[in-house]
Amino acid sequence: MYREGLITASVAHRVYTWVRTCQTKMGPHDPRRLIAAVVGKKKGRATFTMKRGLLCEPEARKAFQDKNDSHVELEVTETGLFLSGHHAFLGASPDGLVKCKCCAPRLLEIKVPLKIQDFAKRQLRAGELKKSSGYYTQVQVQMGVTGLNTCVLFVYSKEECRQISVPFDQSFFKEFIERCKFFYFQLLASLHFQ
């Protein structure tokens, strides 16, 4: 309910790539499914992988804490929905907020793929999250909304886990905001007043 009308981190990559497609390729470009996702008219179906991720998230969070027990007074807090203080159309729900006495506060985003190797092939390059990845957009939006400068992407399975530190990319976020403004004010606003 609170997400209706917000561009949240989970749909951010769809908005980002849709606007880019509109700006670089001849149309027509049908925005109806994307608009329905943003305004909350169409709920995305939870895939098997999504359901599995939600079920395994507490276990993954515990594994993250165990892997990082060398941090002084490590605290991992579950969060709710954050709303941007600068852009009323933007929100994000990271999987956690990580604090300790030895490092700056940072976000936690948990992914629980079926196979970590497949995830790594598709989403990582040289151990870093690809800028073309939807997860890159997701964590950049989370950082932009919360004002934090680092997000730890924790990729978990029972057999292994990987931890990728993703720094905030100001230039990417600025470009993202411009695309969101186009989508929100040019497209959604024009539909609202028709």
Is 55 part of any domain?
Answer: yes
Confirm whether 2 is domain-assigned: no
Question: How big, in percent rounded to 5, are the helix, strand and coil portions of the chain?
Answer: 45, 20, 35
CATH number at residue 60: 3.90.320.10
Q: What residues make up the domain containing 79? A: 7-192
pLDDT per residue over 5-62, tens digit each? 789 998 999 999 999 998 888 878 888 888 888 887 656 667 887 788 888 999 999 9
Helices 170-181 and 9-24 cross at an angle (nearest 10°) of: 70
Residue 61 within a domain? yes
Q: Could you tell me if residue 160 is inside a domain?
A: yes
Tell me, yes or no, whether 93 lies in a domain.
Answer: yes
The domain tally of the chain equals 1
Is residue 41 in a domain?
yes
The answer to whether residue 67 scores a pLDDT higher than 70 is yes
